[in-house]
Amino acid sequence: MTFAAVDVIRTKRDGGVLSDAAIDWVVDAYTKGVVADEQMSALAMAILLRGMTPAEIARWTAAMIASGERLDLSAVDRPTADKHSTGGVGDKITLPLTPLVAACGVAVPQLSGRGLGHTGGTLDKLESIPGWRAQLDNAEFIAQLRDVGAVICAAGEGLAPADRKLYALRDVTGTVEAIPLIASSIMSKKIAEGTGALVLDVKVGSGAFMKSLDDARELARTMVDLGTAHGVRTVALLTDMSTPLGLAVGNAVEVEESVAVLAGGGPADVVELTLALAREMLDAAGRPDADPAAALADGRAMDAWRAMVRAQGGDPDAKLATARETHTVTAEADGFVAAVDAYAIGVAAWRLGAGRARKEDPVSAAAGVVLHRRPGDPVRAGEPLYELRTDDPARFAPALEAAAGAVSVTDVAPAVRPLVIDRLA
């Protein structure tokens, strides 16, 4: 069936419901270049302003999946489970989590992305390991999943091409923030990847896409329902992203912190979230009795990490890049750290060179921010709060401007905020 794009746009503009046939047509026609960018921009804006019914979102997601290939992981002789985070500051959880879950007998097909703006990207972090390769073809992806049980790599061109095109358009037309479009974008890629189970880490707070709990809950509900409807066992945790995760924000520094977790140490919040997500993944994959804490403590997770890095050409023993220049910010008064604002620290790390403003920009492996204190920690005047790292000292001034006021110190210790706020299944 053929439609006029302008009629589809008008229907949504006026608050109507798009038919299944109209959705199938517009997604397919846009992928093939029949519907122009300016028409899809108008439709995306109408969707942002008018919303979509659950049935429309389900059909839109199915049409995005149908725009490309769907991977078949049946050659993998273990259950599969993946995790998706909606993105945050210092969110390196995929790095320890993927080998940890693999060490517990569940294969993890983790197709990841690069950072944009103040949030980091898993592939950028891993590329700070000398030799590590993000691009695998489908045969390599499946072979590594079968042999090592853990893969983190870039999504191939054939997976949900409609989303690739639409996401780039949304990025430049102010239409990223529509819940139907975010949910269908994320879930089309995860469903097409072929995973049997999926755990969503939906972030909420200053450093997240979703600043309010209500929005985060609506996004989580929408994605869980989409996954379930497509036969993927899907669970979501809503987790706090008002403070960066762990102490390290950047690329090589986040790899180092992840390796510390795999060695049985690392910051308590990173360990807590890694274990919480691992338990959910193992449970959703039908292995509720597996003990991820034991696999972390006895070195099995570290062995899986080393095998995973080596399988993609990386040297797990290589020395990682360190920044040529550092600048430390100290406390002006005695007290307790009341808050560390994730967004401000994320922007500072980005300005130091850890992130990119445009998709094609390079990132610095060595740049980033290392926190010396987290919320609740006592501090005395003159002691370090955080440290900025970069190879280019001209970047300190804009980074300091971004981070100004990010860390507040008060006389009384603040109440502890829970890291895991809610769970939806």
Catalytic residue IDs: 84, 163, 170, 185, 189
> Which listed range, 174-182, 218-226, 355-363, 364-372, lies at the site for ligand URA (CB under 6 A)?
174-182
Q: How far apart are CA 289 and CA 235, in angstroms?
A: 18
Q: Which of 9, 26, 186, 371 binds ligand URA (CB under 6 A)?
A: 186
Q: Is 167 in the site for ligand URA (CB under 6 A)?
A: yes
Q: Is 204 in the site for ligand URA (CB under 6 A)?
A: no
CB of residue 283 vs ligand URA: minimum separation in angstroms? 24
> Which listed range, 25-33, 123-131, 153-161, 182-190, lies at the site for ligand URA (CB under 6 A)?
182-190
> Which listed range, 6-14, 103-111, 177-185, 358-366, lies at the site for ligand URA (CB under 6 A)?
177-185
Sign of CA dihedral 276, 222, 40, 176: negative
Q: How far apart are CA 326 and CA 389, in angstroms?
A: 5
> Which listed range, 88-96, 179-187, 238-246, 315-323, lies at the site for ligand URA (CB under 6 A)?
179-187
Question: 17 near 47, Cβ under 8 Å?
Answer: no
Question: Which is nearest to 403 in space by CA: 346, 327, 325?
Answer: 346
Q: Is 151 in the site for ligand URA (CB under 6 A)?
A: no
Pick between residue 79 and residue 121 the one whose CB is nearest to ligand URA: 121
In this structure, the dihedral spanned by the alpha carbons of residues 283, 254, 396 and 116, taken in order and rounded to 10 degrees, is -50
Q: How far apart are CA 387 and CA 317, in angstroms?
A: 25
Reported as type and span, the H/E element at residue 409 is strand 407-410
Count of chain residues binding ligand URA (CB under 6 A)? 6
Pick between residue 84 and residue 351 the one whose CB is nearest to ligand URA: 84
Pick between residue 184 and residue 258 the one whose CB is nearest to ligand URA: 184
Count of helices and strands (H, E) across the chain: 16, 13
Question: 392 near 353, Cβ under 8 Å?
Answer: yes
CB of residue 67 vs ligand URA: minimum separation in angstroms? 15
Pick between residue 189 and residue 395 the one whose CB is nearest to ligand URA: 189
CB of residue 87 vs ligand URA: minimum separation in angstroms? 6
User: Identity (one letter) of the amino acid at 130?
Assistant: P
Hey, what are 132's tokens?
């590590």
Question: Cα–Cα distances in Å, from 361 out to 113, 114, 202?
Answer: 14, 11, 27
CA angle 360–365–369, rounded 5-degree value = 110
Hey, what are 249's tokens?
């924000």
User: Identity (one letter) of the amino acid at 385?
Assistant: L
3 state DSSP class of 262 = helix
Pick between residue 23 and residue 219 the one whose CB is nearest to ligand URA: 219
Q: How far apart are CA 209 and CA 170, in angstroms?
A: 14
The residue of the chain with the least Cβ separation from ligand URA equals 185
Q: Is 175 in the site for ligand URA (CB under 6 A)?
A: no
Pick between residue 180 and residue 250 the one whose CB is nearest to ligand URA: 180
Q: Tell me the β-bridge partners of 141.
A: none
Q: Is 182 in the site for ligand URA (CB under 6 A)?
A: yes
Pick between residue 25 and residue 167 the one whose CB is nearest to ligand URA: 167
Q: Which of residues 72-111 bind ligand URA (CB under 6 A)?
A: none
Reported as type and span, the H/E element at residue 214 is helix 213-229
Neighbouring C-alpha atoms within 13 Å toward the C-beta of 391: 9
Hey, what are 285's tokens?
């994959």
> Which listed range, 68-76, 181-189, 314-322, 326-334, lies at the site for ligand URA (CB under 6 A)?
181-189
Question: 334 near 379, Cβ under 8 Å?
Answer: yes
CB of residue 185 vs ligand URA: minimum separation in angstroms? 3
Q: Which of 175, 185, 239, 251 binds ligand URA (CB under 6 A)?
A: 185
Question: Which is nearest to 324 in space by CA: 373, 364, 384, 357?
Answer: 364
The residues binding ligand URA (CB under 6 A) are 167, 176, 181-182, 185-186
